[in-house]
Amino acid sequence: MVLDGKTALITGAARGIGRAIALRFASEGAAVGLIDLKSTDELARSLEAQGLEGFALELDITDPERVRETFDEVARQRGVIDILVNNAGIIARGTILELGHETWRRVLEVNLNGTFNCCKAAIPHMVRQKSGRILNISSIAGKMGDITAAPAYGTSKGAINTFTRSLARQLAEHGITVNGIAPHAIETDMSAEWSEEKRREVIGGIPLKRMGRPEDVAEAALFLVSEAASFITGEVLNVNGGALMD
């Protein structure tokens, strides 16, 4: 199996894309730390029932101290942190005229600073190990600006893309790769709030003419953290049905 014996931490694992990534990694032999604000106990139990390995970590990624303590404890118990997937994120809707300072700060706090907090906590362990895989879940909005969200969201994701490339440069000498995925229009709770008209409009802009599935992102994630991708770093891979080709 592709991730046999690996320890992977995945943020936002309670549902949607994070959950699909957790299930996929576990099915390839990884022990998966299921990080979320919400309880992931049920997911951990369901993995266990399938003979797979997952452990629930209830954690707010915007709390740097708790993130560090949790990651140190995982490294102490398991010896390593092989993989970190920064997937947890929030969205806000509306235009710049509607966007308030509090929403702006909150979106950047979770999406960007939360990613920073988790990287800061995982990287010392990866440097010590001289190996690691970091994968940041960005968005098409980070490359082309917001389509369906308030401008704080795309801004946070654009910053994540730059952060991904900066880390990729700095961590290469330590045997750590840092990549991203830029999804678009994936069927999750985050996109469920779209009106029928909005969905039709979004699908109309996708050459493959369908919404994406969380599993579509999980397959790309598996590749990018696997040994097969050992010569890829600093890449932010489109998983978008062709909506953006760059």
Ligand X SMILES: NC(=O)c1ccc[n+]([C@@H]2O[C@H](COP(=O)([O-])OP(=O)(O)OC[C@H]3O[C@@H](n4cnc5c(N)ncnc54)[C@H](O)[C@@H]3O)[C@@H](O)[C@H]2O)c1
Give the residues lining the site for ligand X (CB under 6 A). 11-12, 14-18, 36-38, 60-62, 87-90, 110, 114, 137, 139, 183-186, 188-191
Task: Tell me which residue has tokens 């907090």.
Answer: 117
105: three-class secondary structure by DSSP: helix
Q: Which is nearer to ligand X, 177 or 240 (CB)?
A: 240
Given the complex with ligand X, which of 156 and 233 has the nearer CB atom? Answer: 156
Smallest gap from residue 228 Cβ to ligand X (A)? 23
Element (H, E) at 58: strand 53-58
Q: Which of 25, 55, 104, 153 is catalytic?
A: 153
Phi-psi region of 130 (alpha: psi -120 to 50; beta: other; left: phi over 0): left
Please, which residue, 2 or 206, has the CB nearer to ligand X? 206
Q: Is 153 a catalytic residue?
A: yes
The Cα 9–Cα 14 span in angstroms is 13
Beta strands in 111-202, from DSSP E residues, in sequence order: 132-137, 176-183
- C-alpha distances (whole Å) from 22 to each of 3, 87, 119, 128, 172 are 12, 11, 18, 25, 25
Cβ 175 to ligand X, closest distance in Å?
26
Min dist. Cβ of residue 132 to ligand X (A): 20
Residue nearest to ligand X (CB): 16
State which residue, 15 or 174, has the beta carbon closest to ligand X: 15
- Catalytic residue positions, numbered: 153
